[in-house]
Amino acid sequence: MSNVKFSGLKGQALAINIKDIPSLKEFQDVIPAHFFKSNTKTSLRYLLQSVLIQAVVFAIGSRIPCTSTMIPIWILYAFLSGTTAMGFWVLAHECGHGAFSRNKTLETVIGYLLHSLLLVPYFSWQRSHAVHHRFTNNVTNGETHVPLVINGNGITEKVGGEKEIAFSKLLGKKKYGIFQLVLHLIFGWPAYLLTGSTGGLKYGTSNHFWPTKPFSKELWPSIWAKKVWISDIGVVLTLLGVIFLISKYGIFSIMGMYVGPLLVVNCWLVVYTWLHHTDTDVPHLSNTEFSFMRGAFLSIDRPYGQILNFLHHHIGSSHVVHHVCPTIPHYYAKKATVLIKRAFKKAYLFNPDPIHKALWNVACNCVAVKPEINEGKYLWQSYDDKKSHNMY
- 231-260 pLDDT per residue, tens: 999 999 999 999 999 999 999 999 999 999
Dihedral sign, Cα of residue 166, residue 172, residue 178, residue 179: negative
Task: Give yes or no for a contact between 35 and 330, defined as CB atoms under 8 angstroms apart.
Answer: no
Beta bridge partners of 369: 149, 380
Task: Give yes or no for a contact between 392 and 365, defined as CB atoms under 8 angstroms apart.
Answer: no
Beta bridge partners of 380: 369
Task: Give yes or no for a contact between 345 and 12, defined as CB atoms under 8 angstroms apart.
Answer: no
Q: What is the pLDDT of residues 77-101, one digit of tens each?
A: 999 999 999 999 999 999 999 999 9
Residues in the chain: 392
- Residue 1 pLDDT class (50, 70, 90 cuts): very low
Using CA atoms, how far apart are residues 153 and 126, in angstroms rounded to an integer? 30
pLDDT exceeds cutoff 60 at 195: yes
Q: What strands lie across the sheet with 284-285, from one edge to the other?
A: 284-285, 377-381, 368-371
Using CA atoms, how far apart are residues 25 and 36, in angstroms rounded to an integer? 13
Contacts of 225 (CB under 8 A, 6+ apart): 211, 212, 217
| Exposure on the CB side of residue 180, measured as CA atoms within 13 A | 25
Q: What is the pLDDT of residues 344-368, one digit of tens each?
A: 999 999 999 999 999 999 999 999 9
Using CA atoms, how far apart are residues 204 and 322, in angstroms rounded to an integer? 27
**Of residues 372 and 301, which shows the higher confidence score?**
301
Task: Give yes or no for a contact between 91 and 100, defined as CB atoms under 8 angstroms apart.
Answer: yes
Instruction: Write down the domain spans for the chain.
Output: 12-381
Mean local confidence (pLDDT), 303-326: 97
The three-state DSSP-derived secondary structure of the chain is CCCCCCCCCCCHHHHCCHHHCCCHHHHHHHCCHHHHCCCHHHHHHHHHHHHHHHHHHHHHHCCCCCCHHHHHHHHHHHHHHHHHHHHHHHHHHHHHHCCCCCCHHHHHHHHHHHHHHCCCCHHHHHHHHHHHHHCCCECCCCCCCCCCECCCCCCCCCCCHHHHHHHHHHHCHHHHHHHHHHHHHHHHHHHHHHHCCCCCHHHCCCCCCCCCCCCCCCCCCCHHHHHHHHHHHHHHHHHHHHHHHHHHHCHHHHHHHHHHHHHHHHHHHHHHHHHHHCCCCCCEECCCCCCHHHHHCCCCECCCHHHHHHHCCCCCCCHHHHHHCCCCCHHHHHHHHHHHHHHCCCCCCECCCCHHHHHHHHHHHCCEEEECCCCCEEEEECECCCCCCECC
Which pTM was predicted?
A: 0.94
Residue 3, pLDDT score: 53
Rounded to the nearest 5°, which phi and psi values hold at 368? -155, 165
Task: Give yes or no for a contact between 340 and 30, defined as CB atoms under 8 angstroms apart.
Answer: yes
Task: Give yes or no for a contact between 281 and 365, defined as CB atoms under 8 angstroms apart.
Answer: no
- What percentage of the chain carries pLDDT values higher than 70? 96
Most distant CA atoms of the chain, gap in Å: 64
pLDDT exceeds cutoff 50 at 42: yes
Residue 6, pLDDT score: 83
pLDDT exceeds cutoff 90 at 179: yes
pLDDT exceeds cutoff 60 at 205: yes
Using CA atoms, how far apart are residues 294 and 95, in angstroms rounded to an integer? 25
Average pLDDT, the chain: 93
